[in-house]
């Protein structure tokens, strides 16, 4: 157990160190988010024409709490709802009346009062956006966890076999090899996932700051 714990901690450190190379393992899963919100790219491009997904990717790589990421992404889409982008956005949200949505967008930009129908169409758009966000982020989180565990497992097994080779001062025998393999696999569940710990720490620090005022 001591060996498994040590290997698990080391594999966590190595998995975490990959973030130094353009985000490393933290990049895993973001593709699902990008696909989920790609239809709303015109709105995101209003905020950042050069790289519409830059803010979302930065939040994902830094391990910002998932609910906060979704809220920020929704805010970015809402900021990009204009008379110019309304038609494309309505196309990306099946069931949303394009003409009514464009009228609502024009009134929002002008600060005019909305009719009940226009409020309803904006609400429908928000509901579809929420569903897309939920699906994208959940699939992204699942892929990230699986990729992290797979990489941690691979590193743990390599470290375990390498350690047994050093102890045996040569290629280990079959029993020792399988023992090292087993220790490496057992160490994997003990290896923390970097982004989860980062999220927990940032949330804790924010909570402490709010308490202190």
pLDDT bracket for residue 29 (50, 70, 90): very high
C-alpha–C-alpha distance, residues 194 and 19, integer Å: 9
User: In the numeric block, which tokens belong to residue 79?
Assistant: 């900021």
Nearest one of 11, 152, 145 to 66, comparing CA atoms: 145
Q: Quote the pLDDT of residue 2.
A: 63
212 with 32: CB under 8 angstroms?
no
pLDDT, tens only, 141-161: 999 988 888 888 888 888 877
Q: Which residue has the higher pLDDT, 200 or 66?
A: 66
Q: Which residue has the higher pLDDT, 104 or 195?
A: 104
Q: Quote the pLDDT of residue 4.
A: 65
pTM here is: 0.75
Q: Quote the pLDDT of residue 189.
A: 60
Q: Which residue has the higher pLDDT, 42 or 170?
A: 42
Q: Quote the pLDDT of residue 21.
A: 84
Q: Which residue has the higher pLDDT, 212 or 137?
A: 137
pLDDT bracket for residue 1 (50, 70, 90): low
The pLDDT mean for the chain works out to: 83
Indicate the angle between helix axes 66-79 and 116-168, nearest 10 degrees: 140
Nearest one of 189, 187, 195, 197 to 6, comparing CA atoms: 187
pLDDT, tens only, 42-57: 999 998 999 999 999 9
140 with 132: CB under 8 angstroms?
no
**Can you tell me which residue has the tokens 């494309």?**
88
Q: For 111-173, where are the alpha helices, taking DSSP H only? A: 116-168
Q: Quote the pLDDT of residue 42.
A: 93
Q: Quote the pLDDT of residue 192.
A: 47
Nearest one of 195, 190, 165 to 180, comparing CA atoms: 165
């Amino acid at each position: 157990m001591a060996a498994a714990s040590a290997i698990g901690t080391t594999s966590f450190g190595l998995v975490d160190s990959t973030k130094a190379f353009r985000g490393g393992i933290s990049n895993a899963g973001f593709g699902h988010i990008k696909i989920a919100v790609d239809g709303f790219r015109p709105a995101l491009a209003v905020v950042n024409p050069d790289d519409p997904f830059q803010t979302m990717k930065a939040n994902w790589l830094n391990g910002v709490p998932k609910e906060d990421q979704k809220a920020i992404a929704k805010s970015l889409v809402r900021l990009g709802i204009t008379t110019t982008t309304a038609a494309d956005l309505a196309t990306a949200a099946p069931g949303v009346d394009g003409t009514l949505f464009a009228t609502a967008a024009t009134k929002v930009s002008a600060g005019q009062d909305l009719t009940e129908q226009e409020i309803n169409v904006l609400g429908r758009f928000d509901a579809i956006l929420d569903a897309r966000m939920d699906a994208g982020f959940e699939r992204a989180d699942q892929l990230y966890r699986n990729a992290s565990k797979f990489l941690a497992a691979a590193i743990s097994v390599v470290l375990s076999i390498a350690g047994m080779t050093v102890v045996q001062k040569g290629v280990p025998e079959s029993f020792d090899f399988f023992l090292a393999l087993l220790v490496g696999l057992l160490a994997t569940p003990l290896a923390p996932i970097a982004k989860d710990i980062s999220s927990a720490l940032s949330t804790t620090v924010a909570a402490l700051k709010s308490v202190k005022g």
